[in-house]
């Protein structure tokens, strides 16, 4: 059912209107919406699509909802909870995995547009997960944002050589994180990851 629901931030991002404008349409009843127990509006995708069509508006974002799916892979519960809290407020569709093996299964079933990937994990580490994503034809298009609390030139070079699209060090600032995520989700897969990777350090 969650796949059929849009938050106001997500609807705003899909159609290019401000959140305030979407909220006004909802309050006026032009866009049908329900309210959660926590007071947040939820819009059915079919109702939002119908609204766009009634007003002769085109929303290319509705055809690209799968690109707004983010898989967060980290063995630290605190990081998973933090990123889930931050990104859910922005309206992204989220799934989490706490190790590389779980990530591999979630990638095939959830089909994310972006994987936020911790590098140092027990078992299958982030380097191997990234390698598997980028070497398989059916997943090579997925963007990979590598994150680590163990920043080093060796780690940067190694993960970028495995095909990661961006690199952030922990702890990261919300503004830098969101800017990087938005850039990755709105950018076509580059032909050379090394030349186009985004790197941010502390």
Which tens digit of pLDDT belongs to each residue from 8-36? 998 888 777 899 999 999 999 999 999 98
Q: What is the dihedral of CA 150, 71, 127, 156, to 10 degrees?
A: -50
pLDDT at 119: 95
Which tens digit of pLDDT belongs to each residue from 29-52? 999 999 988 888 999 887 888 888
Domain 2-58 coded CATH 1.10.1660.10: yes
pLDDT at 2: 54
Q: Domain spanning 65-200: which CATH class is it, in words?
A: alpha beta
Domain boundaries, the chain: 2-58, 65-200
The pair of structure tokens assigned to 155 is 């780690």
pLDDT at 199: 43
pLDDT at 123: 85
Alpha carbon distance 132, 192 (integer Å): 17
- CB-neighbour burial class of residue 103 (10 A; exposed 0-12, middle 13-18, buried 19+): buried
Which tens digit of pLDDT belongs to each residue from 144-154? 999 998 889 99
With a threshold of 0.95, does the pTM exceed it?
A: no
- Please state the three-class secondary structure of 102-127 as a single string: HHHHHHHHHCCCEEEEECCCCCCCHH
Distances (CA, A) of 142 to 71, 95, 118, 172: 10, 15, 16, 22
Alpha carbon distance 193, 189 (integer Å): 8
pLDDT at 100: 92
Q: DSSP code of 171?
A: S
Element housing 41 (H / E): strand 41-44
Distances (CA, A) of 55 to 48, 51, 78, 89, 99: 11, 6, 44, 27, 46
Which tens digit of pLDDT belongs to each residue from 68-96? 789 999 999 999 999 998 887 777 888 99
pLDDT at 134: 96
């Amino acid at each position: 059912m969650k796949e059929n629901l849009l938050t106001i931030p997500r609807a705003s991002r899909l159609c290019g209107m401000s959140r305030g404008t979407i909220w006004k349409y909802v309050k006026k009843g032009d866009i049908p919406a329900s309210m959660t127990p926590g007071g947040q509006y939820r819009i059915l995708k079919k109702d939002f699509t119908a609204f766009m069509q009634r007003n002769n508006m085109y929303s290319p974002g509705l055809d690209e909802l799968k690109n707004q799916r983010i898989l967060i892979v980290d063995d630290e519960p605190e990081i998973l909870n933090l990123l889930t809290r931050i990104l859910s407020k922005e309206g992204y569709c989220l799934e989490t995995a706490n190790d590389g093996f779980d990530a591999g299964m979630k990638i095939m079933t959830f089909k994310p547009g972006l994987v936020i990937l911790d590098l140092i994990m027990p078992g299958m580490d982030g380097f191997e997960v990234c390698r598997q994503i980028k070497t398989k034809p059916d997943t090579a298009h997925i963007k990979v944002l590598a994150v680590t609390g163990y920043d080093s030139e060796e780690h940067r070079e190694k993960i970028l050589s495995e095909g990661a699209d961006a690199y952030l060090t922990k702890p990261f600032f919300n503004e830098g994180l969101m800017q990087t995520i938005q850039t990755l989700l709105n950018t076509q897969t580059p032909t050379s990851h090394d030349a186009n990777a985004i790197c941010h350090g502390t």
